[in-house]
Amino acid sequence: MTLLETIHGPADIKHLDAGQLTGLATEIRHFLIDKVLRTGGHLGPNLGTVELTIALHRVFDSPRDRILWDTGHQAYVHKILTGRREGFDRLRQKGGLSGYPSRAESEHDTIENSHASTVLSYADGLAKGFRLRGETDRAVVAVIGDGALTGGMAWEALNNISGAPDRPVVIVVNDNGRSYAPTTGGLATHLAGLRTSPDYERFLEWSKQRLRHTPKLYEALHAVKTGLKDMLAPQGLFADLGLKYLGPVDGHDIAAVEAALRQAAGFGGPVVVHCLTRKGHGYRRAEADDRDHHHAVGVSDPATGEPLGSPGPSWTSVFGAELVEIGRARPEVVAVTAAMLRPTGLAAYAEEFPDRVFDVGIAEQHAVTSAAGLAMAGMVPVVAVYSTFLGRGFDQLLMDVAMHSCPVVFVLDRAGVTGDDGASHNGMWDLSVLGIVPGLRIAAPRDGARLRAALREAVAITEGPSAIRFPKGPVGPDIPAVDQHDGIDVLHRSPGDDVLLVSVGAMAATACEAARRLTGEGLGVTVVDPAWLKPVNPSLIKLAEQYRLVVTVEDNLRVGGYGSLLAQELRDAGVPAPVSGFGIPQRFLDHGKRADILAECGLSPEDLARSIHLRIAADRAPGVRRLEEDSR
C-alpha cells in the first residue's frame, strides 16, 4: 500500500513526519499526472499547489475551518486529501467527480468557485458571520491564485477586509505569475518585485537548506523574518491597505508554508501569506511548456503526454485565423481579452499585431468599458470572451457600450453547453441576457464559413455593438444551404406546410436530422437558419405565415431565448402560427459530454423529431388541446 492510499481525510496527514510529507507530495504528483491525462482537466495549476495544499490541511481543521479556493480549478489536491481520491477515475465525466469544488461532493467544499476573483468576498462574509455568531475559534482561509487577484472584485473585498483589523481572514496568495498566460499589469509587476528580490531569494534558499530539518528553529525564524524582509524586499502594496504581510514563502516547501500559515493563524486579524509556486511543478513536459504549463489538458497518453485523437479545427481556431486576415486589411481592428489570450483564439493575432491586443487580466468589467473607449477613439475593438464570463461585464455592455452605440464586437466562445467544466462554464444564458440590450445585433453561425462571414459583417457595423456566439469543440463540416428565401438560408425542405423549423447556430445539424426523420413520417418540414438572430429578419416573419407550426431549437435557455424573441415578434406582427421553443431548461446542468447533456435536455435529433410529431398529432386529434392553446 502506498502512503497516498492511507490518506482518507485531512486528519491522516497531521501526524506525518517531514520525510513522509515529501514522499506524499511525490505520490500525489504521479497520481495527478496519471489520472488527469486519462480524463482531461486542469493539470498545471494543481501540480503547483501540492505542497501548499498539504500545509493548509496540516495547519487548519477543515471543514470547521473554512478553506476556500479561487480559482476552483486548483483544488484537485484538496479533493484528494479530503477523501475523493477514488473519484478521479471519472473526473469531469457524467456522474463523476467535478473539476471544481462541489458542495454535493464533500462538506470540505464551501463554495463552488470557478468564476475568478470572488473568494475574498466569500471569506469576508464568512468571517463577519462567524464573529456575529460568537464562533471565534473558526478560521477562514482564502486561497487566491492563477491571476484571480487581477480582478476588480478581489480588490473591493480587500478594501473591506483591511478595514476590520480584528477580523481574522488568512489570504493565501498562490503566486505562480500566471493565469492561463503570464499575468499582466501593475499588480503583476509589484508581485514580481516581491518574488524576485535577489537578496531575499538568497535568504530563502539559505534558510531552506540549513534549517529545513529543524522544524522548531525553522518556525521561529519565520516568526522574526518579517523584519528582515522589510529590509530586503518591498511589501508596501499590502501594508498600505492595512494588511499584515508574510512572505514571500517557497510554496513547494511544506515546512516553510506550514510555518507561515501557523504564524498567520495566530495573528488575529487579516493577513496575507504570499506563496511562490510554479505551475506544472514536478512534471517535465508541463515545466517546459512556455505557453500555459499544461494549464488544461485533453485526454492524453499517460506514458508520453501526447494528446489522443484528432478532432480537427475548432470554432476558436477558425475565429482566430479569420481575425488575423481581417487585421491585415484593417489596422483599426484591435482585440481585447481578459487573461485568456490563447483559450479565446487571439494568440496568432497577438503574435502578428502585438500592439493591437490588450490583455486586461481577469477583469471583464474593465475589458468591456475599455473597449467602449477604444471604439470612441476610432478603433474597432473585438472583445473575445467565454460566453459564461460575459455576464460579469453585463452592466458595462448595457450602459457603457450599448447606450453609447459603440461599435464593439463581442465574440462569445463556449456558448451553449460546454459540458466537462460543469454548471458555471456552460454558456447557456447569453441569448436570454443579451436579447434585452437595445441596438445589439446577435449572430449565431452554424459552421466555419458562416462564422467567418459573420465576423466580417460585425467589424463593418458602425452604428452599435454586435455579438457572435459559437460553441466549444470541433467546428465540423460546413452545412450548405439548399435554397434561399429573401436572404435566409434554407437547409432542408420537403413538400408541405406543417413545420417551419428555425435552427440557431450550431444546432443546425440536429435540426436537419430531425427534419429528415419528420419528412420520413410524412410531414412537410422546412429548416431555415437566420444566421443573425437579433434583430429578427422581417423575411422570417413573412415566411412563418405559411406554416401551421413554427419550431425553434437553440442551445440556450428556453426562458428568454431566441424562441421567446421570435414568438414575441410573430405576435406583434399578428402571425397566427404558434411557436414551440426547444432549448435548455432553467436549471444548472451537471458536468458531462456536450452531446449527452443536450440529449438530456431533449435536444437530440430523435427527441426533437418525436416531440414535434406529438405536437402535430395533438393538433390534428379531436378533443385535444390545440397548438394555439399550448403555445400560450
Instruction: List, as residue ranges, the binding site for thiamine diphosphate.
Output: 73, 114-116, 147-148, 176, 283, 364
Q: Which amino acid is at 349?
A: Y
DSSP 83: I
Residue 171 in 3-state DSSP? strand
Which residue ranges are tagged as binding site? 73, 114-116, 146-148, 176, 283, 364
Supply the angle between the helices 215-232 and 198-211 in degrees, to the nearest 10.
Answer: 170
Catalytic residues: 279, 364, 392
> Rg of the Cα trace of the chain?
27
Contact residues for 296 (Cβ-Cβ < 8 A; gap 6+): 40, 41, 42, 43, 44, 73
Let me know: does 508 contact 528? Beta carbons within 8 Å.
no
C-beta contacts of 6-10 below 8 A and 24+ residues apart? 7/80, 7/81, 7/85, 8/83, 9/81, 9/82, 9/83, 10/57, 10/58, 10/61, 10/62, 10/81, 10/82, 10/108
Query: CA-CA distance, 489 to 378, in Å (whole number)?
Result: 34
3-state helix, strand, coil in the chain (%, to 5): 45, 15, 40
Give the cell for residue 198: 535577489
Distance CA 155, CA 149 (A): 8
Contact yes or no for 500/511 (Cβ under 8 A): no
Q: Estimate to the nearest angstrom the gap between the alpha carbon of 476 and the chain centroid.
A: 23
561-577: b (≥16 Cβ within 10 Å) or e: bbbbbbbebbeeeebeb
Annotated binding site for Mg(2+): 146, 176
Q: Are 587 and 412 in contact (CB under 8 A)?
A: no
What is the maximum alpha-carbon separation in the chain? 90
The whole-angstrom separation of Cα 584 and Cα 180 is 30
What is the C-alpha separation between 261 and 272, in angstroms, rounded?
A: 10
Scanning 312-395, the segments in alpha helix (DSSP H) are 315-329, 347-352, 364-376, 387-390, 394-395
Distances from the Cα of 3 to the Cα of 52, 56, 135, 414, 478, angstroms: 18, 19, 35, 40, 53
Q: Are 528 and 503 in contact (CB under 8 A)?
A: yes
